[in-house]
Amino acid sequence: MNTSVQPASTAPAINVGGGETRTSKAKEKVKMSAEAVKVFYGNTQAINGIDLEIFENEVLAFIGPSGCGKSTFLRCLNRMNDTIDICRVEGRITLDQQDIYAAERDVVLLRAQVGIVFQKPNPFPKSIYENIAYGPRLHGLAKRKAELDDIVESSLRRAGLWDEVKDRLDQPGTGLSGGQQQRLCIARTVAVSPDVILMDEPCSALDPIATAKVEQLIDELSESYTIVMVTHNMQQAARVADRTAFFHLGDLVEVDTTDQIFTNPQDQRTHDYITGRFG
């Protein structure tokens, strides 16, 4: 049992196929599911009842015009909306068949299982090392300093940041460039080894080169994690997502394999959006 907390990177065995085309991945197991989810901000309804299944180890992208509720829905998946006083969620969301909004459900544990990366990189004003070590330390995942060091290194490696920062782990995370900061935040999330990683427009604050790096990272992470991401950028969805869901005015209009959505949308609104009629 002394090797109980192995860095996740040493477990490449879980690569489930992962070929050239993202759409070919097997997706039999439902990781999360939403049934009739409605969200209210005060008296305004932001989401009108969404049913959706999220499969294990897939990359699911939410697209849609701004204000369509895709970020709001994403934040329901690990109850980040709890931090907003006036926000109310109805319906049922499950993780591994267990209701995450159930009264006895602990939100701390939930968030350790469902991590989130935000739109704007938000490294803590601490050193790079401390940024990554924060989560494992919080949850008591490392018993010794060496274990923690391992987690930090493997998380940074997974985020493709290790080589860039290994010589300055004690310097503040806020001193990195925007793209590096975002990858640091991803590494920070990965360090807790969640099952699902939510990403809320992770590249919208980044330049094209940094975006490319993060996209590549998402691609690699999808081997071991279920990833749900919100994006404004349809090309990005096409590049990285196995499946894509199109949101419009608080409704989930259509969800299907990415190929299907972009080549043969079933709904007129989806068609209009991806052909650039609005958005």
189, 222, 236, 244: residue in contact with another protein (rule CB under 8 A): 189
Q: How far is the CB of 140 from another protein (least distance, A)?
A: 5
- Is 106 an interacting residue with respect to another protein (CB under 8 A)? yes
User: By rule CB under 8 A, what string of x and - marks binding of each residue 61-100 to another protein?
Assistant: -----------------x-x--x-x---------------
Provide the CB-side half-sphere exposure for 189 (13 A, CA). 28
- Is 126 an interacting residue with respect to another protein (CB under 8 A)? yes
Of 79 and 157, CB closest to another protein = 79
| Integer Cα distance of 192 and 171 in angstroms | 21
Of 26 and 138, CB closest to another protein = 138
- Is 118 an interacting residue with respect to another protein (CB under 8 A)? yes
40, 101, 124, 162: residue in contact with another protein (rule CB under 8 A): 124
- Given the rule CB under 8 A, which of 40-48, 62-70, 103-111, 253-261 is the region that contacts another protein? 103-111
Of 13 and 103, CB closest to another protein = 13
- Is 192 an interacting residue with respect to another protein (CB under 8 A)? yes
Binding site for another protein (CB under 8 A): 3-6, 11, 13-14, 78, 80, 83, 85, 106, 108-113, 115-118, 120, 122-126, 134-135, 138-141, 185, 188-189, 192-193, 195
